[in-house]
Amino acid sequence: MDTVKAQQWLIGIFSVLLIIALLIVAGVEMKKSRTFEPVIEIDEMSAKCITCHEEKGIAVNQIDAWKESMHAVSGTGCYECHEAQKDDFDAFTCTGSSILVGRHPTPKDCAKCHEQQVEEFANSKHAHQFWILKNADRSVFENPISTRHGCEQCHNIGNLWPDGSVGECDVCHAKHSYSKAVARQPETCGECHMGPDHPQIEIYLESKHGNIFKAKSAHMDLNYSSKNNERIPLETPVCTTCHMDGNETQPMTHNVSERLAWESQMSWSYRTVWDEENLGSWQKKRERMEAICASCHSPDFYKVYLLTADLVNLQYNEIRRQFVYWTKKLTKEGKISRLEVDGKFYSDPVLNGWDEEPEYLMYYGWHHEGRRFRMGALMMGADYTQWHGIWEVQEKLIELIKWAAEHGDPEAKKIAKSKSPAKFITYPLYDIPGQAWGINARSNTTPFVYNQYPDYWDRVYKNVEAAYQQGLLSDEQWQIWLERYKNKEYYLGTKFANTPAVDSTFNFYKERNDYDLKKMKEQVIDLVLPGKSFFENR
């Protein structure tokens, strides 16, 4: 082959390869950009429904949503979900036909195909009707119309239907598409789990879990099945990962209570006994959650992290105990009173009340700040544990004590007038040496209680031991805590606080800090403007 022919041959081969490559790329891009509708067969009854809806222009988009659903693919049409009997509470005859349909498919209807999921849901706290069992905020402080699209819209997830079934499946699974991906989207849970009293979505989005999700979600397929004990196909968890989806060791569940070891939304934190005859003890529920944590984290991290969060829940109880002490005392003294009509009380000195300051300080210290304090600790939401949590809980307690002092209570006066920082700690403390992320050689050298109370850790030891003996901590947790207590100088970092390496680094930043403060003094504090005050020199 001469040189010219060889060159032509190479050019030809290169051109063919280039065309093939371009076609492959174009095919990939077409695949990305095109949405292929699943192949479905529309039965005669569904065809009638679709034709009628299209002719009358009623919820036409929901037809497309159904066509993209697994219901449509599996041959589940309109009537399979909307079938009704004559005496059903929601039965009606379609205009222009003799077809009897149900306006509201309920969990009882869903159970015809999804019996396990409906049963699991019905045994969960999502189905709990506590909000209509109590004379709480919505039934006293708020007017009914304001809760129609407030409390009721969210708590519709536990709707009690006239047919005796409980729940509303399309609260999580969007109507007619019944998409797994929509149900797994964190913002779906965030429709209800948000705001000042239960900000789980805000906590999640603050956490490392949420940050990774935001960065990677465009490349995640949330439509996967987790029925077969397979590895979680996500780099970071969404809400359902921890609370519902399965992994190699845990089955999928629609009972969101199966993995919760605390009742941390209540006025007190206590170890859950919800459906324990079926779900087992709180320790068993924690084991299930830890089995999910183990998909991404090592035991020495998640066990210490969760133990610390558990101690936060226990710490909340002791602060809460102070709120209850003061409101009961002030009620007994006649300084505050309960709301009452015809012998029935609509407020409670240990739970709620809205017309007197100590009562609503106590209420907010539980229902808003106290929840954020505990939920933030359990869900890696540092700011919600701190500034939206404990800081505001403490603030409410001090305001309550100041109110009592201003209204003549001698004990409150003594606390209010005290110049000791100990006035802010009128309750026992829990603690754990160090934290789950590592060792900080100087962070534990500044707390007031560490420096002023030589018996601090002895007191804490007794408190943690008492919680363990009460069954609020497991045997394993007690052993983890003891190991840290026995080696607290290591875990607190104080063992390394004055070593040459730490001193050198610490002093480097101290010098920078001192220089910052010096320049602030020069630029701002020492600056006196020559212009006179306009108020004093009108």
For residue 101, the SS3 value is: strand
For residues 306 and 286, what is the distance between their CA atoms, to the nearest angstrom? Answer: 9
For residues 459 and 453, what is the distance between their CA atoms, to the nearest angstrom? Answer: 10
Q: What DSSP string runs through 332-400?
A: HTTSS---EETTEES-BTTTB-SSSHHHHHHHHHHHTHHHHHHHHHHTT-HHHHIIIIIHHHHHHHHHH
Nearest Cα to Cα of residue 463 among 492, 424, 425, 428: 428
Q: What is the pLDDT of residue 133?
A: 76
Q: What is the CA radius of gyration of the chain?
A: 31
- The residues that bridge with 92 in the sheet, in sequence order, are 101
Q: What is the pLDDT of residue 34?
A: 41
Q: What is the pLDDT of residue 295?
A: 95
What's the whole-model pTM score? 0.89
Kindly give the confidence (pLDDT) of every residue in the chain, 538 residues in length, as a single tens digit, with 9 standing for 90 and above.
Answer: 565 565 565 566 655 555 555 555 545 444 444 444 567 889 999 999 999 999 999 999 999 999 999 999 999 999 999 999 999 999 999 887 888 999 999 999 999 999 999 999 999 999 988 777 776 777 888 888 988 998 889 998 999 999 999 999 999 999 999 999 999 999 999 999 999 999 999 999 999 999 999 999 999 999 998 888 899 999 999 999 999 999 999 999 999 999 999 999 999 999 999 999 999 999 999 999 999 999 999 999 999 999 999 999 999 999 999 999 999 999 999 999 999 999 988 888 988 888 899 999 999 999 999 999 999 999 999 999 999 999 999 999 999 999 999 999 999 999 999 999 999 999 999 999 999 999 999 999 999 999 999 999 999 999 999 999 999 999 999 999 999 999 999 999 999 999 999 999 999 999 999 999 999 999 999 999 998 888 876 6
DSSP classification of residue 522: I
Structure tokens at 122: 């019905």
Handedness of CA 470, 373, 273, 281 (dihedral sign): negative
For residues 538 and 535, what is the distance between their CA atoms, to the nearest angstrom? Answer: 6
Q: 152 phi and psi, to 5 degrees?
A: -65, -35
For residues 510 and 512, what is the distance between their CA atoms, to the nearest angstrom? Answer: 5
Task: Identify the helix (H) or strand (E) that includes residue 263.
Answer: strand 262-263
For residues 53 and 81, what is the distance between their CA atoms, to the nearest angstrom? Answer: 16
Q: What is the pLDDT of residue 122?
A: 95
Structure tokens at 12: 């030809």
| Residues contacting residue 447 through CB under 8 Å, at least 6 positions apart | none
